[in-house]
Amino acid sequence: MLEMKLHGVKKFMEATLVVNNISFEAYEGDKVGIVGDNGSGKSTILKLIAGIEKMHYYPGYPQTSSPGYDEGLINLPRGASKAYLEQSPVYPEGLRVIDVLNLAFEEIVCIENQMRELENQMKKLEDNALEKALKKYSDLVELFEVKGGYEREEKLSKVCTGLNFTDSFLNRDFDLLSGGEKTTVVLGKLLIHNPDILLLDEPTNHLDMESIEWLEGYLKSYKGIVIIVSHDRYFLDHVVNKIVEIEDMESISYKGNYSSFVSQKEENMRIQYEHFREQQKKVNNMENQVKSLRDWAMRADNNKFFRRAASIQKKLDKMERIDKPVFERKNMRLDLKVAERSGNETIKAIELSKSYQDKGIFKDANLMIHYGERVGLIGPNGSGKTTFLRMLLGEEQPDQGVVELGANVMAAYLLQKITFKNEEHTVLEAFREDISILEGKAREYLSKFMFFKKSPFKKVMHLSGGERIRLKLAMLLYQDINLLILDEPTNHLDIDSIETLEEALEDFKGTIFFISHDRYFINKIAERVIALEGNGFKCYQGNYDYYKSQQPKEVPIVSREKDKKQRNKPESLNQEELMSNALTRIESLEKEIKAIDLALSNDQIEYEELTMLYSKKIELSKELDSVMELWLS
């Protein structure tokens, strides 16, 4: 049984305290999501577990008084394998993608080489020597099987299919891949390796939706421990069964997925605030008593009152104070200014065609986006999302047709690859470069985007991914605009900043057109989803969940086999069996739902069980509706 524990972990980076008190547990089969603001120490925790960042202090050794030592315990199962998803992987030159993936089989290849060597030796051995060699060979064969040697091709094929690695991609030079492609390849290598403890840092950042959904399914059935740092709330909702929040350098653990964590945290804060208020009443009462007793003691010159005041003051000093919960933490304060409205036709594509060599991207495609709409553009990597944006920006030309903005459209673009005119400029200089604004006013405005104190004087080249997005947003939103075009706007932002952006976008009165694989963000913002399908645009009047509900359901392989057998039976028998099976299932589902309703009526039920039962009831009700529909048809 795998078991991993962190207790009271403290870590310094040189003289800076990064995390102060991190404690949580994970067991075999657990999927743990770590959430927190950018810079809160989430990645540091993964690196400590992976052994990339070392603990400098160990129990049994004397602690130093300098601020460079670390404290706490990280207990990992003896002999357990672990793997960490690097954000900037580096491998020897000359390796192809397939070579990097095959590095996951290094141990198996080593065992196989020993087997081949023994096979050659056994041709010449006799008697006892042959018997010993056969015994060793038998052990190697058993080890080869245990390590998954016979499933090598199957594992490789499964991961390549799930992550959409084509034959041409597998033969590409690893060094020539983009940062995102390299990260995806290393993710594939880790999944093939199948370690006991899998450590993933933002695994969905460079995956398209199809690959993310495949990864969700893969991780759900993963037998080991999975620790995930992610700002993808939809992914966390569908994968994890525990959330560890890092706040003020300390950790708090919550059972359940991300949505369950949000509701639990809100409830905990409400309870904490009630306890805080009750304690404050008690503290105020005791402080007034002390003041009154001292006043009486002075007037009556009576030491008895002084002793009673001292006794109450002692209790006050020993009292463990309840902190007042912080309901609103410092975050961006976005204020989107809308210019005068544009014409009704905001973005249009007419008979659009575009191809690269032999690959067709668009063929006679048409699209119309009207003023005030909120539209999300989705599609697999390489389907043409970025190409369409580049044509809209005038950076590329269509082979045929028209792509253009409508009349009186004032657009602001937040592109995925954020660049600035001069990387040597400070944040303040970059912001003021093309506008006339006093330094004091500029700093006041930048503070809304979390650039405080010395940070406005930080050079642009040294900004993190999240800081670059915040600076670019500050520059874009200072303009008068009526169309916002966003390309993966949630990448590199922490969850609090994403939620702030969502709130600002909800208040924006103009048109919003965005590309995103953040399904939670799409659900929140999009009123219409446009999917790139069959070299054209297909519209869905709803959010991501609506789009997903309209996709054909994949039939499991087992069901396909059953269907083949059913097709060989007479049609009348098929109908009778279907009717009978549907009625039996309807009765069974109704009984289950009735039992859950009875359990939900119990006032003593725990919060976690209540959430679980309610979710189960929703699932059963949906299944009942579909079975009823089948029976009626």
pLDDT band, very low/low/confident/very high, at 348 (cuts 50, 70, 90) = very high
- In this predicted structure, the answer to whether residue 257 has a pLDDT above a threshold of 90 is yes
pLDDT at res. 216: 92
pLDDT in tens, 309-330: 889 899 988 888 888 777 655 5
Contact 470, 332 (CB under 8 A): yes
Q: Do 292 and 312 reside in the same domain of the chain?
A: yes
DSSP state of 173: B
Report yes or no on 277 lying in a domain.
yes
CATH number, domain containing residue 545: 3.40.50.300
Q: Do 444 and 359 reside in the same domain of the chain?
A: yes
Q: Give the residue carrying structure tokens 């054209």.
A: 536
Q: What gap in Å lies between CA 17 and CA 249, rounded to an integer?
A: 9
Q: What is the DSSP string of 248-272?
A: TTEEEEEES-HHHHHHHHHHHHHHH
- Joined together, the tokens standing for residue 445 give 């405005």
Report yes or no on 377 lying in a domain.
yes
pLDDT in tens, 419-428: 888 888 998 9
- In this predicted structure, the answer to whether residue 567 has a pLDDT above a threshold of 70 is no
Report yes or no on 590 lying in a domain.
yes
Q: Do 498 and 608 reside in the same domain of the chain?
A: no
Q: Which of 250, 214, 294, 182 is nearest to 42 (CA)?
A: 250
What pTM did the predictor assign? 0.71
- In this predicted structure, the answer to whether residue 594 has a pLDDT above a threshold of 80 is no
- In this predicted structure, the answer to whether residue 336 has a pLDDT above a threshold of 70 is no
pLDDT at res. 296: 84
pLDDT at res. 346: 93
Q: Do 524 and 478 reside in the same domain of the chain?
A: yes
Q: Do 438 and 478 reside in the same domain of the chain?
A: yes
Q: What gap in Å lies between CA 600 and CA 618, rounded to an integer?
A: 13
pLDDT in tens, 90-132: 777 888 999 989 888 888 889 888 888 888 888 787 778 888 8
The H or E element that residue 225 is part of is strand 225-229
pLDDT in tens, 278-307: 989 998 999 898 888 888 888 877 788 888
Report yes or no on 78 lying in a domain.
no
pLDDT band, very low/low/confident/very high, at 585 (cuts 50, 70, 90) = confident
Mean pLDDT calculated for residue range 443-462: 85
Q: What gap in Å lies between CA 425 and CA 462, rounded to an integer?
A: 10
State the average pLDDT for the chain: 83
**Listed range (57-61, 172-176, 178-182, 471-475) with the worst mean pLDDT:** 57-61
- In this predicted structure, the answer to whether residue 392 has a pLDDT above a threshold of 70 is yes
**Listed range (29-43, 465-479, 609-623) with the worst mean pLDDT:** 609-623
Mean pLDDT calculated for residue range 174-201: 86
> Which of 508, 523, 549 is the last residue in one of the domains?
549
> Which of 501, 531, 549 is the last residue in one of the domains?
549
- In this predicted structure, the answer to whether residue 563 has a pLDDT above a threshold of 50 is no
Q: What gap in Å lies between CA 13 and CA 77, rounded to an integer?
A: 26
What is the maximal distance between C-alpha atoms in the chain? 111
Q: Do 444 and 314 reside in the same domain of the chain?
A: no
pLDDT at res. 490: 87
Report yes or no on 507 lying in a domain.
yes
Q: Do 426 and 520 reside in the same domain of the chain?
A: yes
Q: Do 383 and 465 reside in the same domain of the chain?
A: yes
pLDDT band, very low/low/confident/very high, at 575 (cuts 50, 70, 90) = low
Q: How many Cβ atoms sit within 10 Å of the Cβ of residue 101?
A: 25
Higher-confidence position of 86 and 226: 226
- Joined together, the tokens standing for residue 33 give 């999501």
Contact 198, 220 (CB under 8 A): no
Query: Which amino acid is located at 412 in the chain?
Result: A
Contact 107, 49 (CB under 8 A): no
Q: What gap in Å lies between CA 235 and CA 468, rounded to an integer?
A: 24
pLDDT at res. 569: 44
Q: Do 527 and 592 reside in the same domain of the chain?
A: no
Mean pLDDT calculated for residue range 84-91: 74
pLDDT in tens, 22-47: 999 999 999 999 998 877 889 889 99
pLDDT at res. 327: 61
Q: Do 459 and 476 reside in the same domain of the chain?
A: yes
Helix 152-162 and helix 179-193, axial crossing angle in degrees, nearest 10 = 140
Q: What gap in Å lies between CA 105 and CA 141, rounded to an integer?
A: 15
pLDDT band, very low/low/confident/very high, at 494 (cuts 50, 70, 90) = confident
Q: What gap in Å lies between CA 103 and CA 123, rounded to an integer?
A: 31
Q: What gap in Å lies between CA 235 and CA 232, rounded to an integer?
A: 5
Q: What gap in Å lies between CA 241 and CA 143, rounded to an integer?
A: 33
- In this predicted structure, the answer to whether residue 564 has a pLDDT above a threshold of 60 is no
Q: What is the DSSP string of 52-102?
A: SSPPS--TTSPPPSSTT--EEEEE--TT--EEE--SS----TT-BHHHHHH
pLDDT at res. 66: 38
Report yes or no on 187 lying in a domain.
no
pLDDT at res. 550: 87
Report yes or no on 498 lying in a domain.
yes
Beta carbons within 8 Å of 501's beta carbon, 6+ residues apart: 332, 334, 473, 489, 490, 493
pLDDT band, very low/low/confident/very high, at 369 (cuts 50, 70, 90) = very high
Q: How many folded domains does the chain comprise? A: 3
pLDDT band, very low/low/confident/very high, at 555 (cuts 50, 70, 90) = very low
pLDDT at res. 412: 85
| 404 strand-pairing partners | 348
CA distances from 366 to 348, 350, 486 (A): 8, 5, 20
Mean pLDDT calculated for residue range 140-155: 85
Q: Do 489 and 607 reside in the same domain of the chain?
A: no
pLDDT band, very low/low/confident/very high, at 56 (cuts 50, 70, 90) = low
pLDDT at res. 382: 77
pLDDT at res. 611: 62
- In this predicted structure, the answer to whether residue 64 has a pLDDT above a threshold of 50 is no
Q: Do 349 and 432 reside in the same domain of the chain?
A: yes
pLDDT band, very low/low/confident/very high, at 334 (cuts 50, 70, 90) = low
The domain containing residue 283 runs over which residues? 263-318
Q: How many Cβ atoms sit within 10 Å of the Cβ of residue 366?
A: 14
Helix 106-122 and helix 127-146, axial crossing angle in degrees, nearest 10 = 160
Mean pLDDT calculated for residue range 161-179: 86
Report yes or no on 307 lying in a domain.
yes
> Which of 491, 518, 549 is the last residue in one of the domains?
549
pLDDT at res. 59: 46
DSSP state of 148: T
| 377 strand-pairing partners | 515, 530
- In this predicted structure, the answer to whether residue 601 has a pLDDT above a threshold of 90 is no
pLDDT band, very low/low/confident/very high, at 497 (cuts 50, 70, 90) = confident
